Amino acid sequence: MASAGWVGGVLEPIILAQESDYLVVAKPSNLISHPTRPDGKPSLLGWLQEKFPGEFIALVNRLDRETSGTVLIARSPEAASRLGALTMRREIHKHYLALVSGRVEAEHGIIDAPIGRLGISPENPIWLRQGVIPSDDPQKRKSAEARTEFWRLAVGENISLLRLQAHTGRLHQLRVHLAHHGHPVIGDKIYGPDSNLYLKFIAEGWTEEHQRVLGLPRHALHAHELRFLWNNQERIFTAPLPEDMRELALSVSLHHPPII
């Protein structure tokens, strides 16, 4: 089990599988996958290097800092090459769970809409923010094909639990598509009801306004399941729903055994 307060209040990752070729780890939220700058902040890669000193370690997939869930790690250059090839062929299948705003009426659906960087404008104050951009965009902004499939697992008065699969790998794809669909991920500072809250969070940290508007200190997106074929055997790994998402779901009487 994870122990609270590993570093700076971040939960410790959980090893879900330890094979000779690879590891599967459940990354907690608010932990970066890979260090982006030499500031000493904890990362999943750093934790793995401490756990397995001197060993070859390579992250096959990465998750955003706030996203929790399954991460696949290669333990040798050969395994990294094989797993990389599976990734390129889209043969590593990943399913996510998300708590989203509003009642999703459809039990199943596909969001097929190109994604690209929106660019700074009076309507968008965030440089990294992505969005749905049509192929005939009058501003000539670049976009790429993006396709997301969803299944509704449970629905409440103003909240829904979805299972998601990204059939393409665009930056922030699931969050962008869900917001475009009218059901942003709960707690999403960038793609939620007011993107200015992201800038306020950077400047001031988590405030009462954030709690009132967003409801959760991180976006409620969890990489729940990872499956792939290895040595002619299908391997399936799941990371249980984190406590913060579980508590939020239960607080609004949202149930879907055995997930919640």
Catalytic residue among 39, 64, 136, 244: 64
* Length of the chain counted residue by residue: 260
Q: Among this protein's residues, is 64 annotated catalytic? A: yes
Cα separation of 236 and 83, whole Å? 15
For residues 91 and 229, is the Cβ–Cβ distance under 8 A? yes
CA–CA distance, 83 with 38 (Å, rounded to integer): 28
Which sequence positions are flagged as catalytic? 64
